């Protein structure tokens, strides 16, 4: 029993790791739900790649400075997002294709910049995060970002839902549509950038998408899914850190894999369309039908 909480009691770095990843998960989960609902699931991953050159430039100019890398990441992330949107609006190119083009270029530039330093280990930490090495500045950044994200999400919730569900209707009622779209992208970039020190730019998408994808199997309302995704992410952080401690494996992949297990459990046992439930319903249906046909005989 003690094994479940003792590591966190004994060691400050475990508490920080939990605090940091939980704070990240609380904001990443709801954002992930919206990405899923807007059919932008892969966009999260693409966006993480788009951020890379900005972080690389920040790193190359100012070393492992949080401010520099954050600003850099935000600049490139937003540039890619807005450029892609503009291109899709002004040319026949669709948004997903233009975004793919831009983020791939962005990724290439990022890798090139990294290679200028010869594969420096510190930048690898940027890619994979150092969840066990969070210091005060990092914790504050993640918590602040998550708080802002959740607050803004609460404020724009209604128009955001409308923009996902029926954008034409929103357009006929208000001019908030594009504004809300941009604000959402801003939140996305902000969370990804804050998250890179916790889980790294490659894995932070995992804590964003996996709990969100899992939540779909438990709730039929957008709000419900958001809450479950946030809680799921927090739980995955806790479970992953515990697993890293007891099984002596690296922490950030352990967290993502816990989220993955959560997803598979939801896929199978979820009450809204989970495989087990679908199988049961199919069996019940065929039973009913066979009973009816037997009655007719």
Instruction: List contacts with another protein (CB under 8 A).
Output: 7, 10-14, 17, 37, 64, 111, 115, 117-122, 124-125, 127-128, 130, 132-135, 155-156, 158-159, 161-162, 164-169, 171-174, 176, 202, 216, 219-222, 224-225, 241, 244-253
Residue number, 115 or 147, with CB nearest to another protein: 115
Which residue's entry shows tokens 């352990």?
254
Residue number, 122 or 290, with CB nearest to another protein: 122
Cβ 155 to another protein, closest distance in Å?
7
Cβ neighbors of 32 (< 8 A, separation 6 or more) are 44, 208, 209, 210, 211, 212, 213, 229
Question: Which 8-state DSSP code applies to residue 11?
Answer: -
Contact 251, 244 (CB under 8 A): yes
Contact 214, 229 (CB under 8 A): yes
C-alpha separations of 175 from 9, 37, 155 in Å: 51, 21, 16
Cβ 222 to another protein, closest distance in Å?
5
Residue number, 86 or 166, with CB nearest to another protein: 166
Cβ 138 to another protein, closest distance in Å?
9
Please give the Cα distance from 267 to 212 (Å, whole number): 12
Residue number, 64 or 289, with CB nearest to another protein: 64
Cβ 81 to another protein, closest distance in Å?
20
Cβ 185 to another protein, closest distance in Å?
18
Q: Could you give the 3-state DSSP secondary structure of residue 275?
A: helix
Residue number, 196 or 245, with CB nearest to another protein: 245
């Amino acid at each position: 029993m003690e094994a479940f909480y003792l590591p966190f009691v004994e060691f400050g770095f475990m508490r920080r790791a939990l605090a940091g990843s939980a704070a990240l998960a609380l904001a990443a989960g709801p954002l992930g739900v919206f990405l899923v609902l807007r059919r932008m699931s892969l966009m999260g991953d693409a966006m993480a790649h788009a951020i890379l050159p900005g972080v690389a430039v920040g790193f190359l100019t100012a070393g492992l400075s949080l401010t520099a890398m954050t600003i850099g990441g935000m600049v490139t992330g937003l540039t890619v997002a807005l450029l892609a949107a503009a291109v899709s609006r002004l040319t026949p190119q669709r948004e997903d294709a233009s975004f793919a083009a831009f983020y791939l270029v962005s990724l290439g530039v990022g890798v090139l910049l990294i290679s200028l330093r010869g594969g420096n280990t510190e930048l690898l930490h940027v890619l994979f995060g150092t969840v066990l090495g969070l210091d005060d500045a990092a914790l504050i950044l993640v918590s602040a970002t998550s708080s802002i994200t959740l607050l803004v999400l609460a404020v724009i919730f209604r128009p955001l839902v409308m923009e996902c569900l029926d954008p034409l209707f929103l357009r006929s009622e208000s001019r908030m549509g594009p504004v809300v779209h941009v604000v959402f992208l801003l939140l996305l970039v902000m969370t990804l950038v804050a998250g890179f020190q916790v889980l790294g730019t490659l894995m932070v998408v995992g804590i964003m998408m996996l709990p969100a994808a899992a939540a779909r199997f438990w709730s039929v309302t957008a709000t419900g899914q958001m809450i479950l995704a946030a809680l799921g992410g927090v739980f995955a952080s806790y479970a992953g850190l515990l697993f890293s401690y007891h099984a002596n494996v690296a922490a950030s992949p352990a967290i993502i894999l816990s989220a993955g297990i959560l997803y598979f459990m939801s896929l199978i046992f979820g009450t809204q369309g989970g495989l087990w439930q679908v199988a049961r319903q199919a069996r019940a249906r065929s039973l009913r039908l066979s009973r009816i046909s037997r009655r007719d005989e």
